[in-house]
Amino acid sequence: MLAYRKRRPSPGLSLDDCPAPGAPEAGEVTVRVEAVGICGSDLHVADWSGGYDFMLPHLPLTLGHEFAGIIEATGPGVARVTPGDRVTIWPSSPCDTCPECTAGRRRNCRNKATLGLYRDGAFAPLVTARAQGAFTIPDALSFEIAALTEPLCVGRRAVKTGEVSPGDRVLVLGPGTIGQSIAVFARAAGAAQIGIAGMNDPARLEVCNRLGFDQTYDLSDPGARTRMQADFDEADVVFEATGRDESVQDGLGLLRMEGILVMTGIHSGDVSFDATSFVRGRRQIRASHGSGEEDWHAVIATLADPALDLAPMITHRLPLSRIAEGLSLASSRRASKVMIFPQQQDVSE
Ligand SMILES: [Zn+2]
Ligand SMILES: [Zn+2]
């Protein structure tokens, strides 16, 4: 089968012909991948620009961790799902045996073995996963929208971390899929005002507009920066979803006293900020990364609501054979979420 892989610790990915996975082991399932999204982290791994050295012992490795599909086979002892079930997969589901899991902190599992980062992922027609991570999806939910569950869970977790409350003024730095997901759940949490900023990012800011967020700012325009500062001075919560070092100071500079900055972006180097005003303003910096089981249940329930139209988040659709085009579209930011369909020979964009 075709699989899109990281072969060695240097820039680049390759579409290789690989053996299909064998029968699933105890506690595992094999999933026929119907839709899988290209994530910002896939672009970082492709560039190999820092922050992903933990992958070294696992190379070569198939990427892809945001997906939905159909259970093809189940290993011994699996009762959670049966072949034919439509599912999406939590790629870093807990092991339930390590000290963190047994202490009740499953979200901090030490054996996460995240698909697409520690073991073979879903940029392939078939993938093997822990049955624990399989969540069945409603019949009416399309595979491509179900494949957004993982980034939506990351957004929901960040909003929980930032304690967004009704009436809050919330600014999201970074208009990509995680920024969009944060905005969607900040709105659900009752935020009164939500702004989203990007830098030379017109296509993704346009997606934010189509999702119903009209306060968007392209900071490459000095006028937009001035407007953002006027609109969101003394914000309650700012989310940093860019990985750009300057955006940490930008975000802190806009927070009210005791406001919360939630960092979700992966930074390739150190970050500096004005520590004196940070301390005097008693501001908070928190980190949010990944998601927990509660997020998976909540997001899937949310997606079942036909009134929530998240289709604008997906801007491009490609078969697996053309995934390299998808990566270049995503890294140029001409695309927002690029969805790959591994079972299809050709699909229209
Ligand atoms: Zn992702
Ligand atoms: Zn564990």
* Amino acid, res. 163: E
Which residues is 32 bridged to in the sheet?
70, 126
CA–centroid distance, 64 to ligand 1, in Å, is 8
Domains 2-148+310-341 and 154-287 in one fold: no
* Secondary structure letter of residue 53 according to DSSP: G
pLDDT at 265: 87
Tally of residues, the chain? 349
CA–centroid distance, 117 to ligand 2, in Å, is 16
Q: 274 to each of 20, 89, 248, 250, 257, how far by Cα in Å? A: 52, 40, 10, 10, 14
CA–centroid distance, 147 to ligand 1, in Å, is 10
Ligand nearest to the CA of 109: 2
* Amino acid, res. 177: T
CA–centroid distance, 321 to ligand 1, in Å, is 20
Strands, DSSP E only, in 51-137?
61-62, 66-74, 86-89, 126-130, 134-136
Q: 184 to each of 24, 104, 158, 208, 344, how far by Cα in Å? A: 36, 29, 11, 10, 30
pLDDT at 347: 52
CA–centroid distance, 56 to ligand 2, in Å, is 21
Bridge-based pairing of strands 284-287 and 255-263 is parallel
Say which CATH architecture domain 2-148+310-341 belongs to. Alpha-Beta Complex (3.90)
Ligand nearest to the CA of 152: 1
Q: Find out whether 314 and 336 touch, Cβ atoms under 8 Å.
A: yes
Which residues is 337 bridged to in the sheet?
314
pLDDT at 339: 98
Q: 155 to each of 159, 197, 224, 290, how far by Cα in Å? A: 6, 16, 25, 9
CA–centroid distance, 151 to ligand 1, in Å, is 6
CA–centroid distance, 177 to ligand 1, in Å, is 9
Question: For residues 20 and 128, what is the distance between their CA atoms, to the nearest angstrom?
Answer: 10
pLDDT at 264: 94
Ligand nearest to the CA of 103: 2
Domain ranges of the chain: 2-148+310-341, 154-287
Ligand nearest to the CA of 150: 1
Q: What is the pLDDT along the chain (349 residues), one digit of tens a residue?
A: 999 999 999 999 999 999 999 999 999 999 999 999 999 899 999 999 888 899 999 999 999 999 999 999 999 999 999 999 999 999 998 888 999 999 998 888 888 889 999 999 999 999 999 999 999 999 999 999 999 999 999 999 999 999 999 999 999 999 999 999 999 999 999 999 999 999 999 999 999 999 999 999 999 999 999 999 999 999 999 999 998 888 999 999 999 999 999 999 888 788 999 999 999 999 999 999 999 999 999 999 999 888 899 999 999 999 999 999 999 999 998 999 999 999 987 655 4
pLDDT at 49: 83
* Secondary structure letter of residue 198 according to DSSP: E
pLDDT at 345: 75
Q: Residue written as tokens 């999201």?
A: 172
CA–centroid distance, 346 to ligand 1, in Å, is 24
CATH number of 154-287: 3.40.50.720
CA–centroid distance, 139 to ligand 1, in Å, is 24
| Number of Cβ atoms within 10 Å of the Cβ of 297 | 12
User: For the chain, what is the radius of gyration of the CA atoms?
Assistant: 20
Q: Which two tokens stand for residue 272?
A: 């500096």
CA–centroid distance, 349 to ligand 2, in Å, is 40
CA–centroid distance, 109 to ligand 2, in Å, is 4
